[in-house]
Each structure stands twice: as C-alpha cells, then as structure tokens.
Structure 1
Amino acid sequence: MQLSVIILNYNVRYFLELCVLSVQKAIQNLDAEIIVIDNNSSDDSCAIMKQCFPNIKLIENKENSGFPKGNNIAVKEAKGEYICILNPDTVVAEDTFEKVLAFAKSKSDLGIVGCKLIDGTGNFLPESKRGIPTPNVAFTKIFGLYKLFPKSSLFNKYYAQHLDENQTGKVDILVGAFMVMKRELYNQLEGFDENCFMYADDIDLSYRALLLQKQNYYFHETTVIHYKGESTVKDGTYMKRFQEAMNFFYKKHFKVSVFFSMFMKMGIVFFSFVKMFQGKPKAKVSPSCFVLVSDNETTREKLEAKLQKNTERTILENGKIVFSQTFSEKKNTEVILDTNYLSFADAISFFETNKNKSFTFKLLPMQSNFIIGSNSSNDRGEIVVFSHSLQSQ
C-alpha cells in the first residue's frame, strides 16, 4: 500500500466530514487507506463516520489521550509505505497526495514533507514552514523581530523566511496539520513523544528527524486549507499547554542558563497572553448577500429559503465569479462554493485568488446538509445545518 492518511479527531464532526470527503477524492488513484482515530468526542463524530463512511477504519479511544498518543495508536494500524498526519479541520485538493508522494520519492534523504497551508480566508499560514526554535530564534518570535526585520537573516528564521511561500525547499520544522513521511521513519523515531500533550509535538518530531541526518522539506506545489481556529482556540487552557509545550521542548533538546530559562519563561507567558488576546472572538458581521457558485438552481432556492437573504447563483469563468450588477455593488458578500460542481482544487484556488477582498467563503460539501467555513484563523468556524441535503439527487 502506498499511503495511509491518519486523521485524529476531537469534537469537530462537520469539519471531519468535509476533510474525509476531500481525502477520499484525493486517494482515488492511489493504493491508500484512511484511518480516523477519535479521542473520545462528545459530539456525533463517530456516528457520522459509521453512517457515511463505513469502509473507513475508525478507532474509538475511550479518553482524550492527546495528539501524540492518538496518532501513535493509529500509525500502529497503518499499512502504507508513507503516512500522512492530517488535521480533521483541513481540506486537501484532488492531486495533493499524488504531487507530494512524487516529490517525496525523488528525495534520497527524506525526512518529513509539509505543504502550503492557507486559512479559511485564503491567507497563507506562516507556520507551514519554520526554523528550529532555539532560544535565540524564539526570542525573535516572541518579541516580533521577524516582522520588523523580515529581510534580515538574523531575525527571519522562525518562519523560515529564506523561502517564499511559493518556493519549495529545505526547512527545519513542519506543522502537524499536514506531515508526510515514510512509515519506517515514523517508527524509527518512535512516533510523537507522548510526554507532550500537544503544540510542541510536531516541532519535536521534525527536529528529531533532522538529528537522524534526514532532511525536511516545504513543498509549495499543492495547497491545503487549514481551518486553524478549530484546533487552536486561544483560551486559558491553550496558554497553559503552550507554556508546557515550550518548556518540554527546551528541556529535552537544549542546555540553557538559569538566567535564560527565566527569561524564556517570562517570554512564553507574554507570548501566550498575546495569543490568547488575539483569539478573543471578534464581532461578526453578517453577510449582506450570498452568492452560490453552482450549476444547481434547486440548491440556490433551498439556500435562499434557509438563509432568508437574496442568494444569487453563478458559475466560475476562468476562476472568476461574474456578479450581477445588483450584487457587485454590495459589500460583505459570502461566497458559497458547491463542491458537487467544483473540485476541491478549484475551491482552494478560488480562496487564494480572492483573499483579502470583501468576500467570506463557505464550502458546501457534496451531498451534504450543511455549509461550513471560517472567517478567521483565531476563531472557531461557522456551520449552517439544514434539515435535508441541499443538492438534488
């Protein structure tokens, strides 16, 4: 078997469904499997997996054992030559795995491969590629020096700014939302370190691959949506675990002075508070109008009845939406992309092409009864559920 896709889920039922739908499309031409492991979710994640995806291997943990242990349990059941550690709040393109595997097979020194990640607004997520957070590098991150001096080789190492987001190359650290590697390497590394509940586990695994003289790569030729707010809600628990994670990594890999340890502790607390503040929910502005990108008029009618707002239907022409004159004059337009009509790759491309405009984006998964998306990397996403499938059979 070529590939095992490991998806660790915890209470993100609708994002999980969307993720699995996209992965199914992406492995159609591969000898591959999907393994979903659930960390004792209180929602109906497991029920929907059994109902809608009965052929997918589902592992139901009886407790929330954390990110490292959950993935380690799943990898033990994997059969693929390569594994992909994938967050449930992601959407992959139809050719994502084919492209990544072709790249991986071309490297003799392969460690871990990551890819270009964007959030639900189409904006690049800089943690897609990072440097080793040594004390000096962490200092530039904590105090924002990488923003003040983005061209400086001294200050731009945290987010591996030697590489542009659209440039493939060697990096040190990759993010656990999307990691591809040989299963043999994962087992050689003994998987994620279960002493770390979350947040530093991907840093640690990437770093240990480097210690084995392997090379990690950032691969820009495929883009994956990561609805980051679903997995990194910034609250008091986040702050505590972030501190614990950074302490774990430094104690494990670096010998630093007592003075510097105290300094880093102060910095971690400061950075955690900043992150927590950034994650406070912002006042949400309701869309003034909706545009459905679809070839299905019945779907538009159902949406309009549910949303109680005018909803225009259009199709993509060369990747662009053609608005009517009435809609083109309005701001705060929500664009709903019907993945029964568009490929996931087309939808992802549309996100990137239309980022930072007056649009928000939602996806309508094929043969589903909900629309889903996120307007911020810091907040949880938005889901609108309907009583029946929106798409006519």
Structure 2
Amino acid sequence: MNIPEVAVVILNWNGKAYLQKFLPFVLASGYPKLRIIVADNASADDSVAFVRSQFPQVELILNKENFGFAGGYNAALEHVEADYFVLLNSDVEVTPGWITPVIQMMESDPHIAAAQPKLKDYARRQCFEYAGAAGGFIDQFGYPFCRGRIFDQVEEDSGQYDVPGEIFWASGAALFIKRTCWLEAGGFDADFFAHMEEIDLCWRLKNLGYKIMYYPISTVYHIGGGTLQAENPYKTYLNFRNNLFMLQKNLPLGQAVLTLFIRFWLDFISLLKFLADGKVKHARAINKAHVAFFASFGTNRKKGPPALRCLTPRDL
C-alpha cells in the first residue's frame, strides 16, 4: 500500500513558548511518512535557535520577513514537496493518531481538496474552539460561522457533530490540503496578510469543483488568538477588509454587487455600535477597511472565479 507523504508546516512568529509546549505532541503524531517543518516568519525572539538546539529532527524554513499568515505560508510551501500539507498553528495541541484518519478519508475521494479535524478549546476542553469548531460555513450576507459556535458563544461537545461531512470552509488552525490542489488554486491570497485567507482559499477550491470536508474522528485543541488578540483594532481592520475582498472575488458579479451593498450598510451599523461602546479605534478600523477595499477594487476584480463555475454559500 502506498502511504502518502505528509508535511506538517507550522508558521511561527515569536512563538518560542508555543513551540516548546506543543512541538512534542506533533512529533508524537504516529504517522509513518511525516515531515515536520517550522516556517519562521522573521521572528525577533530566539525561536529558530531553540528549534535547532532542542528539536534537530524538525526542518526549518526561514522567511526573509514577516509576510503574515497568508504570504508566510505561500513563501514557505514553495520549498516543500509532499503529497499533503497540514498547515498547523503553533498554539495547537494535537492528539495521537490525529493525521491518519483524515488522510485516509481524503485519499478515498479525488474530489476532496481540503479538510479539518474537530477543533476544541485548549482551556475548556469539553467545548468547541471559536476558530473552526466543527467546520465552517457562510451565511447569505457573507458572514463566516461554524457549527459549534454561535457569534461569540461556543457549544459543549456532546457528540452532536460527530458525523463526517462536507463543509464550506476548513479552519486554517489545522488545515489539511492536497499539494496538487494547493498549487492549482495558487495557495493563499497574500493580499489578505492574515484572517479569512483560508475561507477564501476553500471558496476558490469549491469554485474549481472540489470538496472541503470535516472529519471529527481526529481532534485537536487550539488556544486561539495567540498572535493577534480580538481587542486589537488591526484585527478588526483585517476581518472587515478581507471579508469584502473575499465576497468580491468569489461571488457571481450580480450577487457580489447586491451583497456588498448590503454589507456596507451592515458594516456601518457595526461602526456605529463600536462608537456607542467607546471603541473609537475599532470604528476607525472599519472605515479604514472600506477605504482599502475600494483602493484594491481593480486588483481584486482580476482575481474573480472561473467563468464555468461560481458557487455561492447557498449551493452547499
């Protein structure tokens, strides 16, 4: 039996503490053909020296600068050859045998491009984790959501999402993807820098005719927010800007125009709410996100979906 080679690639930026805590779990994954790679995004701490001295079996890729999550992975994966990539956040604790069932499922269907395991909260281990939970979807207004999470509230895992199935997007916290599909889709959109780049990638893969899957037999535990905290206005800026980028790029033209028009008003309501709550920097971040969206309108228009296939969230 031919066993696919898997490369687990951990993008690191000043994350020595996470690497020290979680790399041993990755090394104990138990997959027979496994490469473990730390791709460093020009860290200012001693992450690289630490990995070299404490984990010599782990490969290192050194990016020349901090390209963000999207550009950092794009740069690193140019140097990696394997049948499958697993993009794993540095603040994720994996469990023994977490790789094999997902790979077996993906090998069973050539139309599966990407997948995610069940993501649970590292601190509250009975609960799902915010950034992925039991698989991602998008509502009619373009807002991403997950099974196992409603707004900021996460559910306890009582087995309610223990059936594998197709989803709209898989979390970038632990993203399995076939290398051929990564190359066909062109990887992440580096203009996103960080946040929602995996949703955009999954949407593009679906527009190419592929499936995105959730496989709950595999479970990992995610801390979340390790690099950019929710209260940071820059995170607000990226989330609002990148969501508009994604809608323009992936929706059919007519629906994109209507959805974006509605979103502008909904975003304006969000801006007013931030002002009412005294969060002026977050309100300014939304305004800045809209300015950036219009400044990039022509560039994003050229990144539109294939003419023969253009899926909307309702198509799933």
Q: TM-score range by the shorter chain?
A: 0.7 to 0.9
Does structure 2 conserve the Cα–Cα contact (< 8 Å) formed by 1:124 and 1:165?
A: no
What secondary structure does 2:257 align onto? Answer: coil
What secondary structure does 1:230 align onto? Answer: coil
Does structure 1 conserve the Cα–Cα contact (< 8 Å) formed by 2:63 and 2:76?
A: no
Q: What corresponds to 2:106 in structure 1?
A: 104
Structure 1 position 259, deviation (Å): 3.8
Does structure 2 conserve the Cα–Cα contact (< 8 Å) formed by 1:118 and 1:223?
A: yes
Greater Rg by CA: 1
Runs of 4+ in structure 1 over 3 Å off: 267-274
**Residue identity opposite 1:242 in structure 2:** N
Structure 1 position 147, deviation (Å): 4.8
- Relative distance call for 1:199 and 1:268 in structure 2 (3 A) is farther
In structure 1, stretches of 5+ residues that fail to align are 149-158, 278-393
Alpha-carbon distance between aligned partners in 2 of 1:272 and 1:101, rounded to the nearest angstrom = 43
Does structure 2 conserve the Cα–Cα contact (< 8 Å) formed by 1:85 and 1:180?
A: yes
Structure 1 position 44, deviation (Å): 1.6
**Residue identity opposite 2:7 in structure 1:** S
Q: Does 1:224 align with 2:225?
A: no
Does structure 1 conserve the Cα–Cα contact (< 8 Å) formed by 2:115 and 2:212?
A: yes
Does structure 2 conserve the Cα–Cα contact (< 8 Å) formed by 1:2 and 1:80?
A: yes
Q: Does 1:197 align with 2:193?
A: yes
Offset from partner CA, 1:348-386 (integer Å, 9 cap, x none): xxxxxxxxxxxxxxxxxxxxxxxxxxxxxxxxxxxxxxx
Identity, % of aligned pairs? 25
Alpha-carbon distance between aligned partners in 2 of 1:176 and 1:204, rounded to the nearest angstrom = 11
Q: What corresponds to 1:325 in structure 2?
A: none
Structure 1 position 256, deviation (Å): 2.1
Offset from partner CA, 1:252-289 (integer Å, 9 cap, x none): 22322364242143255478899x98xxxxxxxxxxxx
Q: What corresponds to 1:242 in structure 2?
A: 239
Does structure 2 conserve the Cα–Cα contact (< 8 Å) formed by 1:3 and 1:79?
A: no
In structure 2, stretches of 5+ residues that fail to align are 280-316
Alpha-carbon distance between aligned partners in 1 of 2:245 and 2:55, rounded to the nearest angstrom = 37
- 5 Å-filtered alignment, 1:119-268, equals 119-120=121-122, 121-122=124-125, 123-125=127-129, 127-128=132-133, 129-135=135-141, 138=143, 147=150, 164-234=160-230, 235-254=232-251, 255-257=256-258, 259-266=261-268
Offset from partner CA, 1:197-241 (integer Å, 9 cap, x none): 111101101101111111111110111011113144111221122
- 5 Å-filtered alignment, 1:288-299, equals none
**Residue identity opposite 1:175 in structure 2:** S
Alpha-carbon distance between aligned partners in 2 of 1:83 and 1:273, rounded to the nearest angstrom = 42
Offset from partner CA, 1:34-65 (integer Å, 9 cap, x none): 11111111222111111111232212223211
| CA RMSD in angstroms, aligned pairs only | 2.9
| More displaced 10-residue stretch of structure 1: 43-52 or 14-23 | 14-23
Alpha-carbon distance between aligned partners in 2 of 1:273 and 1:58, rounded to the nearest angstrom = 44
Structure 1 position 251, deviation (Å): 2.3
Structure 1 position 11, deviation (Å): 1.6
User: Given the two structures, how large is their TM-score scaled by the length of structure 1?
Assistant: 0.60
Structure 1 position 242, deviation (Å): 1.5
Structure 1 position 32, deviation (Å): 1.5
User: Given the two structures, how large is their TM-score scaled by the length of structure 2?
Assistant: 0.74
- Relative distance call for 1:79 and 1:147 in structure 2 (3 A) is closer
